């Protein structure tokens, strides 16, 4: 029987986004495979997390592409981005938290994604749609924080899943939107 690596990664992601401290035994069980099989493909938790990171970056970059951030207004682009990233929000939140445990090498994919999101906020500032007293880097981090927190709140049942997009967009725009003074 051939191991479906993507299915194993998706099973691991589903488990780890709900229980970030899950053991490799628990990951194997969730994926429907033995621990030895899991270890043949992922030498340990670090190798598994690195593979999940690649998957998460791939999904985030796909969400950025789908959002068409340089079309329409910045607000419309942000709404499309939140909608596109929602299915991967739990995985991305897990990866952000997990990556804080690693020192040293940063996957270049995160740098590419950060650059794209920061450029989006910078364009919004240049168009007069976003406040200029908040740096694009800070707005990027605020977006990541809201997506991650929103994912955890939905998973914990504190927030209804159908409210995820609305709450993130409205809170971020409420703080980022440039108000015109009379």
Indicate if 14 and 100 belong to the same structural domain.
no
What digits encode the pLDDT tens for the residues 15-54?
888 788 899 999 999 999 999 999 988 998 889 988 998 9
Indicate if 35 and 83 belong to the same structural domain.
no
DSSP string, 33-48: S-HHHHHHHSSSHHHH
Q: How many distinct structural domains can be found in the chain?
A: 2
What does the alpha-carbon distance between residue 24 and residue 102 come to, in Å, rounded to a whole number? 18
Indicate if 99 and 9 belong to the same structural domain.
no
Residue 31's domain comprises 1-43
Indicate if 39 and 58 belong to the same structural domain.
no
**pTM, rounded to two decimals:** 0.85
Task: Please report whether residue 182 resides in a domain.
Answer: no
What digits encode the pLDDT tens for the residues 132-179?
999 999 999 999 999 988 988 988 899 999 999 999 999 998 886 666
Indicate if 11 and 97 belong to the same structural domain.
no
Tokens of 60: 């985030």
Domain with residue 80: its CATH number is 1.10.357.10
């Amino acid at each position: 029987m051939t191991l479906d690596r993507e299915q194993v990664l998706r099973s691991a992601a589903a488990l780890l986004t709900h229980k970030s401290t899950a053991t490799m035994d628990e990951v194997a069980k969730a994926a429907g495979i033995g621990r030895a099989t899991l270890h043949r493909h992922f030498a340990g938790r670090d190798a598994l997390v690195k593979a999940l990171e690649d998957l998460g970056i791939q999904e985030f970059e796909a969400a950025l592409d789908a959002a068409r951030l340089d079309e329409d207004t910045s607000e419309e682009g942000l709404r499309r981005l939140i909608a596109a990233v929602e299915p991967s929000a739990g995985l991305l939140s897990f990866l952000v938290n997990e990556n804080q445990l690693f020192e040293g090498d940063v996957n270049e994919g995160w740098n590419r994604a950060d650059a794209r999101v920061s450029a989006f906020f910078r364009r919004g500032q240049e168009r007069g749609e976003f406040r200029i007293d908040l740096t694009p880097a800070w707005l990027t981090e605020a977006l990541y924080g809201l997506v991650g927190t929103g994912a955890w709140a939905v998973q914990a049942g504190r927030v209804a899943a159908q409210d995820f997009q609305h709450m993130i967009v409205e809170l971020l725009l409420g703080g980022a939107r440039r108000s015109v003074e009379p």
